[in-house]
Amino acid sequence: MQLEATTVDIGTTRPLVLLNTVDAAELGAHPIDRVRIQHAGETTTGIVKRTDELVPPGTVGVTEPLHHVRGTVDVTLAGAPHSVRYVRKKLDDIELEADELEAIVRDIHESRLSDVELSAYVSAVYANGLSLEETKHLTEAMTDVGEQLQWETPVVADKHSIGGVAGNCVTPIIVSIVAAAGLTMPKTSSRAVTSPAGTADVVEVFCDVEFTIAEIESIVEETNGCLVWGGGVDLSPVDDEIIRAENPLSIDPPGQLIASVLSKKRSAGSTHVVIDIPYGEGVKVESLVAARELADDVKRVGDHLEVDVTCAITHGTDPIGRGVGPVLEARDVLEVLEGDGPESLRLKSVRLAEMLLTHCGVDASATEILESGRALERFRRIVAAQGGEPDIESTDLEPGAESTTVRAERTGIATRIDNRQLCELARRAGAPLDSRAGLVIHRTVTDAVESGDRLYTIYAETPTKLAEAERLADRLEPVRVRSKADALVERR
């Protein structure tokens, strides 16, 4: 069928082809079918979207990835890519071979899978899991698609947390300590997947996080470290597409998580990595047994990739820090670097930094580097190198103007703080898209609480989002307070 190509902008980066329903019916094309477009001696493929209004009969609309298509084109039906069969195999809980996983990764990278098919892949992995061999092959395939950083130094330090703990933004502190100790630490981080703030969201409060590879190399040469968004460069770019599909479902299955983390680490040129695996009620990994199993798998995949990985299994029941949300977590980070701040955040940052220094064979004290002010000085250098204001103070970081405080309805003891519920509340308030939204936690587990004491404060940038968070707070109990007698029974 010959049609006139016209460009359309419907806010997508997917290679969509808009066909009027009349032309689609004649062609026999259904939604998310593929069509082959021949133009100027070239052939390209797009995913069908049927419409009654956006394009008239006789015209084919092409979205941004296909904007090079012009003039009169020949449109025919095309079959689905082979990787769709492999997605179906995974839905049937059949283990995939290396070449099948490579095909899925390649087609995700080249935007050949529709959003529905990508969601089906994510759902299949969530429901049926990945074997260790599948995880190894997937990690390799994700690493091989995209750029890879290379460094002259033989030791390149890195750290990653699998997440799930509210306020767990230790990375900027660790990078500042490790870089000040003389190690190279080019830290690429993710934006939020299921949390109210990823490390990149927090760092963006201070400075830019999107840079080219050449710019990253320059920043690291100047400061020994960087704090950048991995999605801003072409390092394991398929990971970002998969995260985009996981985000609405708030899922992060273990095998995919390992492939996500280690493909980024290998692409960043990291040689020595510490992986933080928090466990406990209300976080991603709920038991010590599961945490140990995950740590073993991470190490095995790391060995396969020739990346020296060690895991820190940490208790994740309680939040780390006081703030949850980009600006509030950024304030905690800067307070710790300034010599104050939440003790839980300072202690975990120092312990992980010490572990990473030892893992890299460096004889230095993380505590001394932090307390001497060397870490703060290095953090300010990194912020300046990334286009931020180096002299920013923690007191400059203000949360959203709309707020409400939830208070205790009884006297007793705080027996549990639910990370998952705190994250749900912060996201409902607008985090991470609204950087000043989130909440501040006023109590920790085992604290004595009087009736009327503050438990947590919710911040939002608009009254509407604050009201939405308040309605959710009425149904949840993120900070559980019990009488002393009930608390003793609960502990038993």
**Among all residues, which ones are annotated catalytic?**
252
- What Cα–Cα distance (Å) separates residue 462 from each residue in 175, 333, 380, 401, 471? 34, 25, 31, 8, 15
Q: What are phi and psi of 82, to 5 degrees?
A: -60, -30
What span, in angstroms and rounded, lies between the C-alpha atoms of 38 and 76? 9
Residue 395 DSSP class: G
Residue 488: CB partners within 8 Å, gap ≥ 6?
A: none
Segment holding 103, helix H or strand E: helix 98-109
For residue 448, the cross-strand partners are 413
Inter-CA distances, 303 with 98, 269, 300, Å: 18, 15, 5
**Angle ∠(473,348,331) on CA atoms, nearest 5:** 55
Angle of CA points 467, 470, 472, to nearest 5°? 115
3-class secondary structure per residue, 155-166: CEEEEEECCCCC
Report angle CA 278, 282, 286 to the nearest 5 degrees.
55
Q: Are 323 and 167 in contact (CB under 8 A)?
A: yes
**Look-up: residue for tokens 């995700």?**
108
Sheet containing 448-449: order of strands: 448-449, 412-417, 479-482
- 71 burial via Cβ count (<10 Å: 0-12, 13-18, 19+): exposed
CA angle 431, 432, 433 (to 5 degrees): 95
Angle at 352 between CA 346 and CA 355, to 5 degrees: 140
Q: How far is CA 257 from the centre of its chain?
A: 10
**Per-residue CA distances from 366 to 178, 234, 330 (Å):** 8, 32, 20
For the CA atoms of the chain, what is the radius of gyration?
25
Which backbone phi and psi does 444 adopt, to 5 degrees? -120, 165
**Kind and range of the H or E run holding 49:** strand 42-51
φ, ψ of residue 483 to 5 degrees: the values are -60, 160
Residues 426 and 326: beta-carbon distance below 8 Å: no
- C-alpha 173/C-alpha 206 separation (Å) is 13
* Cis peptide, bond prior to residue 154, ω within 30 of zero: no
